[in-house]
A and B are shown apart, each in its own frame.
Chain A
Amino acid sequence: MVSILEGLGCEVCYNPEQTCCGQPAFNAGFRNDCRAVAEKFIGDFNAADPIVAPSGSCTGFVRNYYGQLFQEEGPGDGEILPIQKQVYEFSEFLVDVLGVTNVGAALHAKATYHDACGALRECGIKDAPRKLLQKVLGLELVEAADCEVCCGFGGTFAVKFEPISTSMAEQKVVNAMKLGAEYIISTDSSCLMQLDAYIRKHKCNIKVMHIADVLASRKGRH
């Protein structure tokens, strides 16, 4: 991601002290623990610059939940904080902010794109990653009928309700393989980690790849 952004003329800053947006605790119901980490998150960034994350889930969390997190208990989304308008998912930033779809990548393979829930439903990202992938030299993109169905990760859900979570992963992987895809590509590492865990265990003939890695790929076959 860094090399692509720099290649497009961006100056990339990274604060090595940053950690997490706080989502894991929030999703488990631990709002106060989340709030402490989220406060640190806000302080870790320069207020003026856009924040780009290789994850629709983290982006969606900051964008849609920070207001609610910092208001007192009660309904509604709370006051909108500046940081909520500052965060972008990587593919969305490239296409919607920089206006770039061709980053000069090459990957000779057949792949299917998995719409990560955070990217799709929290951020409304549907076209941007596809536009970028269509411009990758040699990449044949096939759409799965269940491209918008959740991979089954869901944070603590993946361990608390392991059988349901695994069945969901299984169906995603099997359906992608039926299409003859060699790669499942997505915007979010957590989905890919979940799918990869199933793939490695069952020695399936398919791999996962983060969209940033695809876009950084220049070598043809990865």
Chain B
Amino acid sequence: MIAVGNREQIFLKQSLEKSKDLAHRQKMNHALKQSDDAFEKGKGQFSDLELARDWANAIKRDAIMQLDTYLCEFERKFTSRGGKVIWAQTADQAVEAVKAICSRHRAKTVVKSKSMVSEEIRLNQALKDGGVEVVETDLGEYIQQLADEAPYHIVAPSLHKSKEEVAQLFVDKLGTEPELRPDQLTQVARKVLRKKFREAEVGITGVNFLLADIGGMVLTENEGNGRLTTGFPKVHIALTGIEKILPSVHQLSLFLPLLATHASGQHITVYNAILTGPRKADEADGPEEMYIILLDNGRTNILADPTARESLYCIRCGACLNVCPVYKNIGGHTYDTTYSGPIGSVITPHLNGLKDNKHLSYASSLCGSCTEVCPVRIPLHNLLLYNRQQSVAAGYNSGMEKVMFLTWKKMMLNRKLMNAGSGDVKNWVFKVFVSKIWGKDRELPMFPKKNFSQQWKARRQQK
């Protein structure tokens, strides 16, 4: 755990490093340009994307406003078919529940498909500590696991690695031939993973949507590893935040294309599965036991706040990261949070504490690109502003900043004060007080000799 109060300094240090790292910039710009192009093309499938977003927003609003009702409906239906629902208020409770299931089944190997919630609760480490081998089966996640790194992006975990870097990683960790092509690397991973799928006693997945009306969960993925994770092992455990609920299966006709397009520019993701319970007596395959862990872990704090609540509409498509110039420049790890990018900066202060995470809400130029793209219309940059207000109201901002805005207010309430001092004097003041924080790569802005108000008066007198 990092010492309190240091997170901001570490963030600043990391962001300086990454902003100046030109190789990183090039990789990020390349990867995000590709996702941008794909999105531009993919969104053509919507005859009216704005309307689709309005609709999605309305559905998620309903879902979140009646979260309790829908979750209970989900539980009733899901359990009626033999599925088991575990409510976890904290990360620890969720981890303990997974560990208990694993030990009941004497699991030695667990295969996992992509789950950000598992990152949030630090599941891999906990299982490893208990002697269970955990294998990530999503290719990007597998790469990150080999590199012993957290995901760099909520949808594309190894987005920041070039194909050459991945090839080298495989050489170092798996002893492959050097300089393999991406398709060859995929074959290597496939071979390793197939074996693990057969060995594993338990499969763990995330969830893309929970469906209240039919008591089902939706898994959407492109590699087929999710199906193997849910199909091969005897036990399937799904992890999800409580906000993933949709009232009805019928709404998937909107949400699946919306998610696919915003996540990867696809019209629809390759594999989409609705799971409604464990294998029945007359069925040929599927797990014998199916668990779903519904995780709160601070989400009800967000639910209780009428303004912040909208951030629970998130479907984790990653689009706001893709368009964010700050994310692009500093990369995913600088945030040092489970969820990076705009949505991460919005929710992390509510999930993990405002005091230690308020800097994330300030680390934005408020350009609004995130709000512009979000498929469920979360007003992300307004929520960053809201977090800033909360931070000021809680007294977390520095004394200097308070004095600065008090002085500013005084001047702005009195034009004479604002006019005081010629342009030259203001330039001098800027040089003395602002030059340090303005950095070495920019010259200071210059004030004109006369401000507009003074020029205006002179102009009127001439007339």
Contacts and interface: CB of A to CB of B under 8 A. Distances in A.
Contact of A18 (B405, B415, B438): B415
Given A74-B307, A163-B439, A198-B442, A29 B391 contact: yes
B442 A201 contact: yes
A22 to B, nearest CB: 7
B140 to A, nearest CB: 25
Q: How large is the interface on B (under 10, 10 to 19, 20 to 34, 35 or more residues)?
A: 35 or more
B363 interface: yes
Given A164-B330, A198-B442, A31 B307 contact: no
Given A17-B415, A24-B408, A25-B408, A161 B389 contact: no
Contacts of A197: 438, 442-445
A206 interface: no
Interface string A96-107: 000000000000
B445 A163 contact: no
B366 to A, nearest CB: 6
A150 B370 CA distance: 12
A137 interface: no
Contacts of A17: 415
Given A33-B405, A198-B441, A26 B413 contact: no
Given A150-B325, A157-B366, A164-B326, A29 B409 contact: no
Q: How large is the interface on A (under 10, 10 to 19, 20 to 34, 35 or more residues)?
A: 35 or more
B252 interface: no
A127 interface: no
B445 A164 contact: no
Contact of A33 (B20, B391, B409): B409
B306 A167 contact: no
B2 interface: no
B418 A196 contact: no
A81 to B, nearest CB: 18
Nearest to A30: B405
A182 interface: no
Nearest to A44: B415
Contact of B456 (A16, A30, A156): A16
Nearest to B362: A160
Nearest to B406: A33
Nearest to A193: B445
B340 interface: no
B405 A25 contact: yes
A29 B397 contact: yes
Given A149-B325, A166-B19, A121 B368 contact: yes
A122 interface: yes
Nearest to B387: A29
Interface in B375-405: 385, 387-393, 397, 401-402, 405
A75 B309 contact: yes
A114 to B, nearest CB: 12
Contacts of A36: 409, 413
Contacts of B273: none
Given A16-B453, A163-B20, A201 B441 contact: yes
A27 B387 CA distance: 10
Contacts of B406: 33
B12 A167 contact: no
B188 interface: no
B381 to A, nearest CB: 9
A142 interface: no
Contact of A37 (B366, B367, B413): B413
A122 B368 CA distance: 8
Interface string B348-373: 00000000000000111111110110
B412 interface: yes
A74 B307 CA distance: 6
Contacts of A27: 366, 385, 388
B438 A19 contact: no
Residue of B371, B441, B456, B459 with most chain A CB atoms under a 10 A cut-off? B441
Interface in B316-330: 325-326, 329-330
B442 A169 contact: yes
A78 interface: no
A202 interface: yes
Nearest to A23: B366
A28 B405 contact: yes
Contacts of A163: 15-16, 19-20, 439
Contact of A165 (B20, B365, B369, B459): B365
A121 B442 contact: no
B438 A154 contact: no
Contacts of A52: none
A29 B385 contact: yes
29 contacts: A19-B411, A24-B408, A25-B405, A25-B408, A25-B409, A28-B397, A28-B405, A29-B387, A29-B397, A31-B392, A33-B406, A33-B409, A36-B413, A74-B306, A75-B310, A149-B325, A150-B325, A150-B367, A150-B369, A153-B365, A156-B362, A161-B12, A161-B326, A163-B20, A164-B15, A169-B442, A170-B441, A194-B442, A201-B440
Given A25-B408, A159-B437, A200-B443, 6 more contacts: A19-B415, A30-B392, A75-B310, A117-B368, A155-B365, A166-B439
